[in-house]
Homo-oligomer: A and B are copies of this chain.
Amino acid sequence: MTKGKEITIYDLADKLRISSATVSRALKDDPVVSKKTRLKIAELAEEMGYRTNHFARNLRSKKTNTIGVIIPRINSHFMSSVISGIEKVANQSGYNLIISQSGESVEKEIANAKTMFNSRVDGLLVSLAYDTTNINHFDVFFKNNVPIIFYDRIPQQRESTNVIIDNQRRGYEATQHLIEQGCKRIVHVTALLRRNVYLDRFMGYKQALADNDIPFKEEYLIINDLSKQGGAEAAKVIMQMNPLPDAVFVANDDCAVGCMLAMKEAGIRIPEQIAFVGFNNDPVASVVEPHLTTVNYPGYDIGEAAAQNLIDHLKGKTSMTVTDAIVLRSELVIRASSQRKAASGSLLNKSSNKK
């Protein structure tokens, strides 16, 4: 058996003894076609199993109805939540998605961008790789007026439309919270500071220290890849410091958890000896013991917002030049890993699992 012959608007037209033009119009619910014929055509289309040929349509109309998504990795809790949000919006609006992973490598990201361009996506949603410094590979989109929205990992040097959270403020709050718990020797574990999210969190950390007259110590800044494994290694380094730091603010939960487990294994009590704050509110945060204080970073909402904004723009509802940043709500979720004092401040919020 072979694929059945496809029904085209000509088949419908012939059957009804009208022109293909009328069928085409009717199928788009063009009010210029009389209601009666529109109905007849719709019925016949249904009956004969007609389906639009998007290739012909796109060829003619020069619109692809496709959004490209470039993402570092799909399989992390945060990133898969983002995609989930994007998918929902795109699906609802009838847009297709082309998703590709950069795997945190600029080279791959450049290749991805090229593919996207060749696929003629109508718009692009991008979160940059760790080591992307310049974004010249996206110039071709800017030049051709293909809108790009960056989310989470955004470029520093260029004006662009971004969907983010206030990383700096959250970093500040996380640090301030630790200070309020009586911590003074606060280590910060993060990734390369060239990536905005990490730089911003670090800036917040530094500012909070400054505001509390705690000098920033270079040795308290540990840079790694923020993996669970990296966390375990950071733990080793931290445990050799003398005096032992009394708090660690880690830029993601995976790494924080790896660090906590290694310390616990070494017999260090959390939060009594060292308090912990992570970032992202991954599921592991409310499983590790003690439960990890962290910043709720709503990936699904980020995805939704980015996609919705892009689509609105594509449909001409909004001008991209008006908004250059959409900042979503995020908040510190305080759990046991950082609580060294009895409940006190206004920040306190004992929810053990926000999801």
Contact = CB atoms under 8 A, between A and B. Distances in A.
A96 B261 CA distance: 41
A288 interface: yes
One complex includes copies of this chain to the number of 2
Interface stretch (A82-90, A174-182, A213-221): A82-90
Nearest to A82: B75
Nearest to A115: B91
A355 B119 CA distance: 35
A33 interface: no
Given A3-B144, A51-B118, A145-B3, A77 B77 contact: yes
Contacts of A115: 91
Nearest to A282: B283
Contacts of A96: 96, 98, 119
Nearest to A50: B118
A99 B353 CA distance: 29
Interface string A28-70: 0000000000000000000000011111101100001000000
A45 to B, nearest CB: 12
A1 B4 CA distance: 45
Contacts of A200: none
A120 to B, nearest CB: 7
Contacts of A100: 87, 91
B58 A55 contact: yes
A84 B74 contact: yes
Nearest to A288: B287
A143 interface: yes
Contacts of A288: 287-288
Nearest to A112: B91
A80 interface: yes
A2 interface: yes
Contacts of A4: 143-144
A51 B87 CA distance: 27
A160 interface: no
A87 B69 CA distance: 12
Interface in A264-300: 283-284, 287-289, 299-300
Nearest to A57: B55
24 contacts: A3-B144, A3-B145, A3-B146, A53-B59, A54-B120, A55-B56, A55-B58, A55-B64, A74-B80, A74-B83, A74-B84, A75-B80, A75-B84, A75-B300, A76-B80, A79-B80, A83-B83, A83-B99, A96-B98, A96-B119, A97-B97, A97-B98, A254-B283, A288-B288
Interface of A: 1-4, 51-56, 58-59, 64, 73-77, 79-81, 83-84, 87-88, 91, 96-101, 115, 117-120, 143-146, 228, 254, 257, 261, 283-284, 287-289, 299-300, 353
The 4 closest A-B pairs by CB, nearest first: A80-B80, A55-B59, A74-B84, A75-B84
Given A53-B59, A283-B284, 6 more contacts: A4-B144, A51-B118, A54-B55, A54-B119, A75-B300, A228-B353
